[in-house]
Amino acid sequence: MTRVRFAPSPTGYLHVGGLRTALYNYLLARKTKGTFLLRIEDTDQNRLVADATENILDALSWAGVSPDEGAGKGGPHGPYIQSERLETYRNHAAELVEKGHAYPCFCTPAELAARREEQTRQGLSSMYDRRCRALSRDQARGRIEAGETHVIRMKIPDERTLVVDDLVRGPVEFSSAVVDDQVLVKSDGFPTYHLAAVVDDHLMEISHVIRGEEWLTSTPKHLLLYEYFGWEPPRFAHLPLIFNRQKKKLSKRDGDVAVEAYREKGYFPEALVNFLALIGWSPGDDREFFTLPELVEAFSIERVNKSSGVFDLDKLNYIQRHYVKTLPTETLVQRALPCFESPPEPAYLGQIIDLMRERVTFMHEVPALGYFYQDPEQYDEKVLKKRWKESSSELMTAFARRLEALSAWTVESTEACLRALAEERELNPAELIHPTRLAISGVGAGAGLFETMEVLGQPACVRRLRAAADRIQLPVA
């Protein structure tokens, strides 16, 4: 039974890299009919965890990758918030001390800093010198009873090759000689990430740990902890880092890293999920568009890349435009409606969207297409100068009269009407098309003129042509 987890620290927002990690976990769970769990790792900070959990759940649910079990959801392995599990960690730390795999360390931060400085001065790598390992159990107990501040450290063996058999990278070897005696319990009694994550992954019966590559160097310590506890370790898969276009780790300085920011900008969850899926995973063919169910179908850990991926905003915009072009009209209407202060009729909005979907990237651009909702009051000056001729007012009046008489209002009927008038007057149709567009929209560009007129409807087009003929006085200087 596959059980995977997303284990964010509550920073107040969900990082896009975090969403990718959550997504890959979700995909594996769905693919294998397993369980996707959310655990909040809050042993490091005293934040408002309730809100943070809410934010994370909200962002995950927006993206369509809600957990099956865990924080905010419940389940048989709770609590799923680490600050509510301190007793468990304390007991497990005590077990390791008891077994001789961990020891209390009384070195103060000042002492440690001084020793590190000395090591650096001598050109050595700064590692804990393990001096508290030498204390006898009685000595240690005496100092603890006397109330001396201490941490618990794990014993790292001197010379051992620790192998992480990573599902993405294959076997990765680490020499224990470069691994520090990791602190497992801090002086405030809180566990460090390492102890808490290992204990929880075991107790929550996690089968696959899928997380960012930045945790790979911690994994040898975790494997030792599994060994010390006598537990079977899960499988590990470390996901490639996400870089900016300068090939540096994506950070706040590159702009938005919060999922919320993309949501607010109007990116669709389909687009962000599709985009993130492809940073670090490839389907093995040249397909670039995947819905969530298609991702579930196509995903495999074997196809996760070893090398880092790039967060390329142009690509995200490209994918976003794909979804604007292809999602059902009703879906887009539902998403565009909240962007309006006073929304038009949904049926009319649907027509506008179908006409303009090739030309917009975000739904909030739809209310900005002003001429669909109001007769133009001004006309783009540049277009006016270029396109409105002395004869235009008279032509528009004549065209309006003919349009008014049409019994069918279609793309074909209005086009035929315009061409007939052009022919009678021995004009190039463009001499009618350009001023007509300006008169009905106030601007010089848009979707096809006759398609636009069809959506705007007969009364509006006739009225607008007459208003422009009246209003626009030539010569325009």
Instruction: Give residues 135-194 in contact with ligand GLU (rule: CB under 6 A).
Output: 193
Q: Can you tell me which of 14, 19, 41, 319 binds ligand GLU, judged by CB under 6 A?
A: 41
Asked if 49 touches ligand GLU (CB under 6 A), the answer is no
Binding mask 337-366 for ligand GLU (x = CB under 6 A): ------------------------------
42 sits near ligand GLU (criterion: CB under 6 A): no
Q: Considering the complex, state which of residue 229 and residue 371 has its C-beta at the smaller distance from ligand GLU.
A: 229
Decide: is 7 part of the binding site for ligand GLU (CB under 6 A).
yes
Q: Which two tokens stand for residue 120?
A: 């650096």
CA atoms within a 13 Å half-sphere pointing along the CA-CB vector of 97: 23
Q: How far is the CB of 159 from ligand GLU (least distance, A)?
A: 27
Task: Kindly state the smallest distance separating residue 9's Cβ from ligand GLU, in Å.
Answer: 4
Pick the catalytic residue: 252, 306, 315, 385? 252
Give 458's contacts (C-beta < 8 A, 6+ positions apart).
403, 404, 406, 409
Tokens of 301: 């850990």
| Shortest Å distance, C-beta 192 to ligand GLU | 11
Based on CB atoms, which residue is closest to ligand GLU, 8 or 220?
A: 8
Q: How far is CA 170 from the centre of its chain?
A: 28
Q: Is 240 a binder of ligand GLU (CB under 6 A)?
A: no
* CA–CA separation, 451 and 414 (whole Å): 9
Q: Are 395 and 431 in contact (CB under 8 A)?
A: yes
Residue ranges in 194-223 that form contacts with ligand GLU under rule CB under 6 A = 197, 211, 215
* Single-letter amino acid, residue 166: D
Minimum Å distance from CB 266 to ligand GLU? 28
Integer Cα distance of 398 and 464 in angstroms: 13
Is 252 one of the annotated active-site residues of the chain? yes
Q: Per CB under 6 A, which of residues 433..462 are in contact with ligand GLU?
A: none
Closer to ligand GLU by Cβ: residue 77 or 434: 77
| Closer of 53 and 393 to ligand GLU (Cβ) | 53
Q: Which is nearer to ligand GLU, 234 or 435 (CB)?
A: 234
Query: Helix %, strand %, coil % for the chain, to 5?
Result: 50, 10, 35
CA–CA separation, 235 and 171 (whole Å): 12
Per-residue binding string, ligand GLU, 107-126, x by CB under 6 A, is --------------------
Q: Which of 76, 64, 68 is nearest to 29 (CA)?
A: 68
Decide: is 8 part of the binding site for ligand GLU (CB under 6 A): yes
Q: Which stretch binds ligand GLU (CB under 6 A): 7-15, 62-70, 249-257, 264-272?
A: 7-15
CA-based torsion, 201, 207, 210, 214: positive or negative: positive
Nearest by Cα to 363 from 342, 328, 333: 333
Nearer to ligand GLU, 222 or 437 (CB): 222
Q: Are 240 and 306 in contact (CB under 8 A)?
A: yes
Full DSSP string of 292-333: HHHHHHH--GGGB-SS-EE--HHHHHHHHHHHHHHS-HHHHH
**Interacting residues with ligand GLU (CB under 6 A):** 7-9, 41, 193, 197, 211, 215
Residues with a catalytic annotation lie at 252
